[in-house]
Structure 1
Amino acid sequence: MALSIASSLLWPDLPSNGWGWIILISGLIVVFRYRFAGAVLLGLSWAILFFNHELSWLKEQHISLPAQHELNVTVSAVYRKSDRQQLLVSVQSINRQSYWPEPAIRLTLSDKKTFLKRGDKLHIRARLKIPHGLGNPAGFNAERWLLGQGVTATGSISSFKLLYQADSSWRDNWLMKSRQLMQKFRQPELLMALIYGEQQDVDKADWQTLRDTGLIHLIAISGMHIGLIAWIGMALSRLLLQRWSEKLPGLHWLVGIAFALLYSALADFSAPTVRALCMLIIWIALRLWQREWSGIRIWLFALAIMLVIEPWSVFSAGFWLSFIAVGILGVAGFLWRKPSLWQIQWLMTLLLVPVQLVLFDGLSISSVLVNLPAGPWFTFSIVPVALISGLLVPIFPSLAYIGFWLCDLQLDWLMSALEWIQTWGSGWMAISFRQQLLLFWALAGWFIWRFSPVVMKREFGLLLLAGCGLLFAGCQSEPDWRVDMLDVGQGLSVLISQDERALLFDTGDAYQGGYNMADAAIFPMLEYRGIKQLDYLIVSHRDKDHSANWQRIAGKYPQARIVSSSALTVDTLICQRGQQWQWGKLQVMVLSPRSSSGGDVNEDSCVLRISDNQHSLLLTGDAERKAEAELIRLPRQLLQSQILSSPHHGSKSSSTPDFIAAVAPDYVVHSAGYQNRWHHPHPVVLSRYSQSQQWITAVDGLVSFEFSQNNTDIRPFRRLQPWYRQMDAWLVGDQPLK
């Protein structure tokens, strides 16, 4: 069942409820004779029925259409940012209609003055949308992250009314007392994250340091926390309740579970906590039942139970990291019987490589060396003292303070040591897509050679590895050059690359709070494509959605030549019609403006034509009618292009019929934000390009054009992705997600 539910990560479509019922009936018929096949069918049917039921309200409420909705909600969690509040809410009614189970929605509230807390009930008006993030092959996968938390919609609150103000819960009071004890500490945020799972206040720079050095898993609540708390409970039970254990043989185990439940409540029953608690209860139940199950059987049973109870867990990166890490511990025990810490560490690092590549597009190259001392340090010193101190807060606050102080001191030493290590270079190494494939092949080949019963001789294993290597090299061929129309929301950024060198046209937007398209999309894509050098950074004009990140990019790639209609630096090459240069095998030509007025208006946008004499690309920035009228006076062969980035995101103020006729594009890409308030691209403009094949980055994600000799390979990212990254198709009609 676990295997079939997990397969939903790869489904190209989400089958309808009808298919779910058919598969369920088939599974019930088959399971009595063929248990494995029946379990697979039952798991498939449960996943299909569950996801359809949980998402059905999106279609019924027409969430695909921009509109205001009235909701009655209860606040489940509050995450306070510098400029806003993020609310996780459960919804009692949407437009006076109720659903069961109550949908979970993540909302943004720009009001920083109103102090909301868990349990508050609100009546709100909000604009909702489906789980939607940037559609690029590299960078943060927002859809998977949201669904992994069971969140089926996001939105922004336009107005709200407080219906009921909840009293502070016992957990809120407990955490408030803990924060008061930590007021003067150096690492209170990390300490709160370590003990109670309160990660929202941890500084981004600290998270980055922990990720780069491979220690981020030590801060997150895991099975170690739950197991240690249960052990503390059992030890206290043996010390204080020994006389009762003869009458109640399972007393010590039950006390251990009670302590684990208390700690899970303190950690807000977060997904990692519930997973660890589930495995602990299964293990204790087996001991009380006097059943000796193998470690792998317990692992698979816990995995199946968790996925059946909460199928959304299949989308959680933390879920798979924790379960796979526990599984690797079992593999280490199988291979070496009594594995050393070093053996566990290198095996963990090696076998987690594919998971890290899939989830994060990179590796922590310092993780083995750093984890070797840090792992035992956390396991035997920091975590036990921190957890015991956390439990002592309401009983002996003075003792809790001493324990917190000792942990804070050690965490401060740790972060200082990690910062010193970082001065020698980042421990994080981004891996390009081609390198990822190579690593996957190497790991698969090594595993087959080392463990497969078929490969008995090392000579045959080496021959197999060599053959796989030749096959890999033969199947992989880089195009002569590539155009990536990035999905940067409401903005523009186009990456042109050849031979590990790149030209970047526009930089996307940046927002309050620090979120920006350089970190979210551009840098990840440069690393994903294996770009070693950025030769040109071209900023069409000064509009924020085109230029906001030029300084950040220029700082990381100082050798890049800056070209713009505005004097961004003293060395900026100002765009002017007639400029042209040879860049590798490509000819770059500036077609507009005739002369820039400073880059502050759309008509100043740099318009570039890039060609290899067979294929051509026209980049237009925010050029509007006046600029287009100037462009169509050029000789037709200078303007006509195979690919066009539509002017001004497909606005009505651009893309005149005469301009479209002059360019005569085969392919048009409209770079626009999902459900943007300007309604780009406008339906009128879409109809004007009816003779061309069109894509919209908000719907199709990144659109990649790969050119090799006379061949053009076009890859719209979302159309090649699983169902949960293509939910719009399902919302606008009765067809399945595809």
Structure 2
Amino acid sequence: MPDSAASDFAVQRNGPFAALLGWVVGTALQLQQGALWPVWAYLALAAPVALAVGWPRRHGFRAGPQGRRTLTWLLCAAALGFAGTGLRGLVFDAQALDPGLEGRDLRVVGVVTEMPQRNEAGLRFTLATDTATLDGRAVRVPSSVDVGWYSSGVGGGTLPGGEPAGSEGQPGDVRAGERWSLTLRLKAPHGSRNPFGFDYELWLWERGVQATAYVRASSTDAPPQRLDQTWTHPVALMRQSVRERIFASVQQKQTAGLIAALVVGDQAAIDRVDWDVFRATGVAHLVSISGLHITMFAWGAAWLVGYLWRRSARLCLLLPAPTAALLGGVLLACAYSVFSGWGIPAQRTCLMLVTVALLRCLGARWPWPQTWMLACALVVASDPWALLQAGFWLSFVAVGVLFATDAGSAQGKASSPAGWLRAVFAHLGSLMREQWVVTVALAPLTLLLFGQVSLVGLLANAFAIPWVTLVVTPLAMLGVALPWLWDLAGYAIAVLMQLLQWLAAWPWATLSLATAPWWLAAAGVLGGVLLVARLPGSVRGMGLPLLLPCLLWQAPLPPDGHFELLAADIGQGNAVLVRTASHALLYDAGPRYSLDSDAGHRVLLPLLQALHTRLDTVLLSHRDTDHVGGAPAVLGMQPQATLLSSVAADDRLQTRRPVQRCEAGQHWEWDGVQFDILHPQAADYDKPHKPNAVSCVLRIRSTGPQPQTALLVGDIERPQEEQLLAAQADIKADVLLVPHHGSKTSSSEAFLDAVQPRQAWVQAGYRNRYGHPAPEVMLRYQERGIVVHDSPHCGAMNWRSDGYEEVICSRTAQMHYWSHRVP
């Protein structure tokens, strides 16, 4: 073959792959932007692409090195991906909520677009807005709003922003497709921002939501009104109807939730305890609508379509039965994916099936890397922000690993829709090897994303994969037509849960390690792939040194004599993690948001797991729910921690762990760092008091040439501040946790003059109902030159005594263009 022809052939072979890869890379780079560029900048980047595509040929590179032309494909596609994603971001960002409408009561008319999610706190649903008025005047609001309608009578809970759970009447019977007229109080999407934490604002952005709201249904508000059923969202309505039938037919709520997750993709219906078991045993992918479910559904549908198609000679003359089976299986699998919620694994699988089906129909046989990259690029093109989802990486890396380690087998899996029963039993023998390959290769990525990996996952999946795929899922799906089959599915689920709970109870069921940096985890994934790849032993051995650093990574700790403070962003409440060189203390555990959700489970446990931190002491300042709401979850996962608090002898926490009462004068030292309890006095417990009056006050002092002091004071008020000043000759501190979240009842002038902090931290919810911190209180800090950091602006606040003035704010350190910028 002439050199020029060989070069053109190489470009034709490598060019499409380079273009697809470039699109994904360009999109990934754009997602790292802290702020969007103006529209002209993205257009200026994309405009030269068409010129660049033809440049090599016009300038004599037809027979030149194919690497140069392949690089052109890569760079041009990357520029288009970057610019296209930026322009989409600008269009969406233009729909943001006007800050002047935050906290205002608007009358909004809109249509419910998804099946509502109900829990003990009330109801949540997405509303596509039609019109909005403020005092009779039309205003513009975002086209999609996430709405909460909270039940009255659900006491004790607060929402992450500080609103009470259960203060606005009983939610109505809301159904997908209905048009409602509601009085809503809107605010910009704002979620907690913590190291290694869930990005709530990104989650809303990806769903197309630009505001959150809750229904105002008090006696002074216009009552909610159902206007009509629009039938504009029939799939969501069908899913809701099926879910209701499941819960009506299956008496046990936990079992019904699992069946609903398998049939309609409602993962929120799965009980939190069950999720813990699934994660510990590594089978969480089976209880969502995973690629395996979609593929098995496609095989079954293709077999049924092919069987029926062959019964008609006329149909076979119109279209060969194998082709009809292929197309029918793919189309029905896509329909099932849409019905089940169209999640990332379902998208990836459907696009893979569609790609393979089209290639087969066209007679083309692409190598697996191009097929895999095409499906990846299509998912990214449809949803660029999917690149930031854990499910995206787990799905595509797992499929890529299977392709790379056994390309022929993987290709057959994706492209063999006929002969369903024969294919199913043939593949059962290879499931163990596939699970081993995926477990080893994805262990570093799993540690990076979740901070733990299941050590019993291989054994659990050996039973769970065929059991869920061939027994539970078919019974659950057929139950839509024959509801009595849901009872059989429930028995099958009970068998599965017995085994999984037994495995999860093993002492070493999971391995938890500190979350490594992304680059170290990427090297670990490469090492895992090399270990399981079908390569010479010398090459596979290179995977171990790449894998070990990820497994041995340790989060940095303060040196001896110094300490670190990390004030978690938990909404309205207190939670401060204190770490020394080899010890850790948690001061307060944040609020309880509802009966099934609290700061301990949602924020603190993932944080402790990511840092691989073992608590020595949990100090709960007092019994208010915004300080102890997350304590049961934390104490349950940290059984070795000593509990120190001022809670009463009859408090429910006493049943979980013996509580040592905190009293002034208690002192201990860890790694050269001194800890002192300054309040309350022993006699204070004998007086009638509010819980705030006996808040435990903790002083922490480093040692060395320039010692630093932190003062954590809970919810003390002016009388307790005066008591502290009278009892302590020197109460100066460098860092002060602002008393009572900045309430008017605290932070007196005398107290601030005595403490003289250089910086003060406020832990409070964004636009909380208490108005914390009070403006007049913040003015006192400002007049004294005290730098104030608050969680709405800063997110989690991190400071080390050997770093002096440097405070790391998670919100600013992790700022992206979809992040809420608090005024």
TM-score, reference length from structure 1: 0.86
Deviation at 1:458, TM superposition (A): 7.2
Aligned residues of 2:697 and 2:714 also touching (Cα < 8 A): yes
Corresponding residue to 2:452 among 362, 377, 385 = 362
Which residue is 1:75 aligned to?
A: 112
- Describe the SS at the equivalent of 1:245: helix
Which residue is 2:421 aligned to?
A: none
Deviation at 1:106, TM superposition (A): 4.4
Alignment of 1:532-681 (within 5 A): 532-534=614-616, 536-550=617-631, 552-554=633-635, 556-557=637-638, 559-568=640-649, 572-594=659-681, 595-596=683-684, 597=687, 600-613=690-703, 614-633=707-726, 638-681=730-773
Aligned residues of 2:277 and 2:501 also touching (Cα < 8 A): yes
Aligned residues of 2:765 and 2:792 also touching (Cα < 8 A): yes
After superposing the two structures, state which structure 1 stretch, 685-694 or 160-169, moved more.
160-169
Alignment of 1:386-397 (within 5 A): 386-387=476-477, 389=478, 393-394=480-481, 397=482
Q: Does residue 245 of structure 1 match 2:316?
A: yes
In 1, distance between residues paired with 2:607 and 2:202?
19
Q: Does residue 316 of structure 1 match 2:389?
A: yes
Q: Does residue 142 of structure 1 match 2:200?
A: yes
Deviations 1:310-338 (A, max 9, x none): 33433433333323322222122249989
Corresponding residue to 1:416 among 488, 498, 507 = 498
In structure 2, the CA distance between the partners of 1:152 and 1:332, relative to structure 1 (3 Å rule), is: farther
Which residue is 1:333 aligned to?
A: 406
- Describe the SS at the equivalent of 1:330: helix
Deviation at 1:86, TM superposition (A): 1.2
Q: Does residue 503 of structure 1 match 2:585?
A: yes
After superposing the two structures, state which structure 1 stretch, 171-180 or 711-720, moved more.
171-180
In 2, distance between residues paired with 1:518 and 1:305?
38
Deviations 1:169-200 (A, max 9, x none): 55555555666665689933322322332333
Alignment of 1:83-162 (within 5 A): 83-95=121-133, 96=138, 102-103=143-144, 105-110=146-151, 112=170, 114-159=172-217, 160-162=224-226
After superposing the two structures, state which structure 1 stretch, 119-128 or 656-665, moved more.
656-665
Corresponding residue to 1:289 among 353, 362, 383 = 362
Which residue is 1:39 aligned to?
A: 77
Alignment of 1:169-568 (within 5 A): 182=250, 187-242=255-310, 243=313, 244-249=315-320, 250-334=323-407, 340-384=430-474, 386-387=476-477, 389=478, 393-394=480-481, 397=482, 401-402=484-485, 404-425=486-507, 427-433=509-515, 478-480=558-560, 481-534=563-616, 536-550=617-631, 552-554=633-635, 556-557=637-638, 559-568=640-649
Deviations 1:235-282 (A, max 9, x none): 333333332233235533333344234423432445543443333222
Deviation at 1:17, TM superposition (A): 3.2
Deviations 1:47-84 (A, max 9, x none): 11112221322254546x43333322211221111231
Q: Does residue 49 of structure 1 match 2:87?
A: yes
In structure 2, the CA distance between the partners of 1:358 and 1:558, relative to structure 1 (3 Å rule), is: closer
In 2, distance between residues paired with 1:469 and 1:685?
49
Deviations 1:402-441 (A, max 9, x none): 5x45443322211111122233347333322469997666
In 2, distance between residues paired with 1:465 and 1:202?
37
Which residue is 1:165 aligned to?
A: 229
CA RMSD of aligned residues (A): 3.7
Residue correspondences, number: 714
Aligned residues of 1:667 and 1:692 also touching (Cα < 8 A): yes
In structure 2, the CA distance between the partners of 1:714 and 1:440, relative to structure 1 (3 Å rule), is: farther
In 2, distance between residues paired with 1:251 and 1:48?
40
In structure 2, the CA distance between the partners of 1:302 and 1:92, relative to structure 1 (3 Å rule), is: farther
In structure 2, the CA distance between the partners of 1:525 and 1:262, relative to structure 1 (3 Å rule), is: closer
In structure 2, the CA distance between the partners of 1:88 and 1:2, relative to structure 1 (3 Å rule), is: same
In structure 2, the CA distance between the partners of 1:307 and 1:474, relative to structure 1 (3 Å rule), is: closer
Unaligned runs of 5+ in 1: 733-738
After superposing the two structures, state which structure 1 stretch, 713-722 or 228-237, moved more.
228-237
In structure 2, the CA distance between the partners of 1:615 and 1:309, relative to structure 1 (3 Å rule), is: same
Which residue is 2:10 aligned to?
A: none
Aligned residues of 2:448 and 2:517 also touching (Cα < 8 A): no
In structure 2, the CA distance between the partners of 1:342 and 1:661, relative to structure 1 (3 Å rule), is: same
- Describe the SS at the equivalent of 1:212: helix
Deviation at 1:13, TM superposition (A): 3.1
In structure 2, the CA distance between the partners of 1:419 and 1:28, relative to structure 1 (3 Å rule), is: same
Aligned residues of 1:182 and 1:401 also touching (Cα < 8 A): no
Deviation at 1:449, TM superposition (A): 9.2
Aligned residues of 1:144 and 1:724 also touching (Cα < 8 A): no
Deviations 1:136-187 (A, max 9, x none): 2144442343334333332211142211135785555555566666568993
Deviation at 1:42, TM superposition (A): 1.0
Aligned residues of 2:111 and 2:128 also touching (Cα < 8 A): yes
- Residue identity opposite 2:125 in structure 1: L
Corresponding residue to 2:800 among 687, 706, 713 = 706
Deviation at 1:25, TM superposition (A): 2.3
In structure 2, the CA distance between the partners of 1:154 and 1:327, relative to structure 1 (3 Å rule), is: farther
In 2, distance between residues paired with 1:49 and 1:99?
21
In 2, distance between residues paired with 1:460 and 1:198?
43
Which residue is 1:12 aligned to?
A: 34
In 2, distance between residues paired with 1:268 and 1:446?
32
Aligned residues of 2:95 and 2:210 also touching (Cα < 8 A): no
After superposing the two structures, state which structure 1 stretch, 521-530 or 335-344, moved more.
335-344
Deviations 1:481-540 (A, max 9, x none): 211112221111212112332222222221332211222223333333333342x33222
Aligned residues of 1:17 and 1:49 also touching (Cα < 8 A): yes
In 2, distance between residues paired with 1:236 and 1:544?
56
In 2, distance between residues paired with 1:548 and 1:431?
26
In 2, distance between residues paired with 1:256 and 1:473?
46
In 2, distance between residues paired with 1:725 and 1:599?
45
Report % sequence identity. Answer: 27
After superposing the two structures, state which structure 1 stretch, 265-274 or 322-331, moved more.
265-274
- Describe the SS at the equivalent of 2:465: helix
- Residue identity opposite 2:458 in structure 1: V
- Describe the SS at the equivalent of 1:205: helix
Aligned residues of 2:514 and 2:555 also touching (Cα < 8 A): no
In structure 2, the CA distance between the partners of 1:623 and 1:364, relative to structure 1 (3 Å rule), is: same
- Residue identity opposite 1:302 in structure 2: A
Aligned residues of 1:565 and 1:598 also touching (Cα < 8 A): no
In 1, distance between residues paired with 2:248 and 2:541?
65
Deviations 1:583-633 (A, max 9, x none): 441222233344423662433322222102411101111122232233344
In 2, distance between residues paired with 1:109 and 1:603?
31
In structure 2, the CA distance between the partners of 1:234 and 1:336, relative to structure 1 (3 Å rule), is: closer
In 1, distance between residues paired with 2:306 and 2:527?
50
